Amino acid sequence: MVKDVDLFAAAMGDVKPLAGRKRAAAKAKPPPAPSSKKRGATSAVGWGRTGVGGAPGTTSAPELTLDDHTFDRDTVRALGRGKLVPQASLDLHGMTLAAAERAVANFLDAAVTQDLRIILIVTGKGARLEGGRVLGGRIRAEFVGWLNRGDNRSRVRGVRPAHPRHGGSGAFYVLLRRRSSASSRSLRATPQR
């Protein structure tokens, strides 16, 4: 990844110093050797990424995180005040990791097919004492990673912990992408002017 110092040095490379001052010696580092990147790894320029299929030149959104601000302020307020409720929910309690991952993928597929906007997925807090230590839930820990995988990432716009009335830290709101309006209507159906 390109560091700010390197970008600054490149931008200031052709600048002449003021009279009576010497140019500071810049440490020239050779560019890193190209290595085999994992699918979906961040490129050095901007936040372009390889697409879902891994084809070079295609871009997609950055990986989802829980501190992501992908929900707009009005949506967050409406959810918090109870004026907006999730349109569907999925409870993953009692499932194995593999079963929960399949259930999340199937649920996202069904929600996108129904053109839902906000869904709730309950993972459970998973906090328990074992050997004097507090352990977090495995489903909760893996959940955001599942959303960042392949087809799931192309369907999801954002994720954030739910309001306490909807499960708090044991549940997540998932904001889904809208389907393309061109695929749902014919261009001939629009009035011609």
Which two structure tokens, joined as six digits, stand for 135? 């352990």
Please tell me the pTM assigned to this model.
Answer: 0.59
Helix (H, G, I), strand (E, B) or coil at 140: helix
**CB distance 153 to 104 below 8 Å:** no
Q: How far apart are the first and last CA of the chain?
A: 51
Which two structure tokens, joined as six digits, stand for 145? 């990673």
Q: How many CA atoms lie within 13 A of 166 on its CB side?
A: 27
Cα gap 192→54, rounded to integer Å: 40
Cα gap 147→135, rounded to integer Å: 22
**Pick from 153, 80, 158: nearest CA to 118:** 158
DSSP 8-state assignment for residue 71: S
* Bridge partners, residue 90, by sequence: 121
Cα gap 133→127, rounded to integer Å: 10
* Bridge partners, residue 128, by sequence: 135
Cα gap 191→2, rounded to integer Å: 50
pLDDT at 52: 45
- 190 φ, ψ (degrees, to nearest 5): -80, 140
pLDDT in tens, the chain (193 residues): 567 777 778 888 888 878 877 766 655 555 555 544 444 444 344 344 444 444 444 445 677 777 657 777 888 888 888 888 899 999 998 888 899 999 999 999 999 999 999 999 999 887 766 676 666 688 888 888 898 888 888 888 888 888 888 888 788 999 898 776 555 555 555 556 5
